Amino acid sequence: MDDLTLEGFTVAPGQRLKARVPALELADGTVISLPLILINGVRPGPRIYIGAGIHGDEVNSVALVTRALATIDPAQLAGSVVCVPVQQPLALQADHRLPLAQYLKSPLDQVPADAWTCFPGDANGNIAQVIAAKLFGMITQCDVALDVHTPTRGGKYVPIAILPHHGMGAHAKRAEELAHLLATGWIVRGERGMYVSEGILCVEATRAGVPCFTFEIGEGGRLDMDFVETGTQCVLNLLRGLDMIPGVRVEPAVTHVMRDFVGIRASHGGVLVTEVKLGQAVSRGQRLCRIFDVFGDLAEEVLAPVDGLFVRATTLGTVSRGERVATLGVL
């Protein structure tokens, strides 16, 4: 095995390095850096990029990737790992999906504000575009990639792999194989919506020849150790499936491969009471939630518009008209 060199850092075979890569400069001169974990193995194998926390309220993603990598013995590793556990540090500081301080200061200049949607990025662009360009420079030096998320605050997902559009050819096909290696039991193979749009990290990585998909797990805004445990297992499953680390993969009993998400929105504002369990199969017409108005009267019964799987719950206590109350995955 050769040395692993990235962003000016060099790691010998069998070694691990934690470093910080300067990425931005704020008004007072503070330099914002991307945390970087490099692990170089002792045998040939793939180089995997693992990113988390591109949205600042997705702390489960940060916890699970760092926990998974902490278990890796570089002396047993084949290939190498490039990990950026917090892909947008300014959003993490705000504990919000977006780098809120910069967005509030200059809403026009900071649009687009979400680095996740700005790939391949622009080194001469705004904060989101500069971050995306810096990350993309690292991603494209790897063979495969994984982008780990949690729903934004107020949502909770089953552990679910969301693929780039399968019309993207051989690299998208490889991304699908990788998603099966992650073995969450839930895969979405969609053709429309934000997850397969141009500019999304996994879409542009796959287009650039680095097969990649999005992994969503747990709830935004709070750490849930059960989800962290599950997510850690899934990341290790992927590394084992790639023959990078020893050990036995944990396979789910069933893998649900879905073709789309169906988001269901409230027709009335009020207090939201969800009545189905996350992951449950539901039938068309089945009641998913009830919404009560502020007088305590029933304002709406939210019924499933199709047969599906209840893959994403709204965990906010209240909703306004038009806000999402549930998401079904459809087979």
The binding site for Zn ion (CB under 5 A) comprises 55, 149
> Whole-angstrom Cα distance, residue 13 to residue 133?
28
Tokens 């599906």: give the residue. 308
- By beta-carbon proximity to Zn ion, the closer residue of 55 and 156 is 55
> Whole-angstrom Cα distance, residue 199 to residue 302?
33
- By beta-carbon proximity to Zn ion, the closer residue of 56 and 329 is 56
> Whole-angstrom Cα distance, residue 269 to residue 251?
41
Tokens 């910069």: give the residue. 102
Residue 9 pairs in a beta bridge with 6
- By beta-carbon proximity to Zn ion, the closer residue of 199 and 241 is 199
Distance of CA 198 to CAs 8, 119, 191, 194, Å? 30, 8, 12, 8
User: Minimal CB distance to Zn ion: which residue?
Assistant: 149
Give the shortest CB-200-to-Zn ion separation in angstroms: 10
The DSSP secondary structure of 227-273, one letter per residue, reads HHHHHHHHHHHHHHHTTSS-S-----S--EEESEEEEEE-SS-EEEE
Give the shortest CB-179-to-Zn ion separation in angstroms: 17
- By beta-carbon proximity to Zn ion, the closer residue of 47 and 134 is 134
- By beta-carbon proximity to Zn ion, the closer residue of 210 and 217 is 217
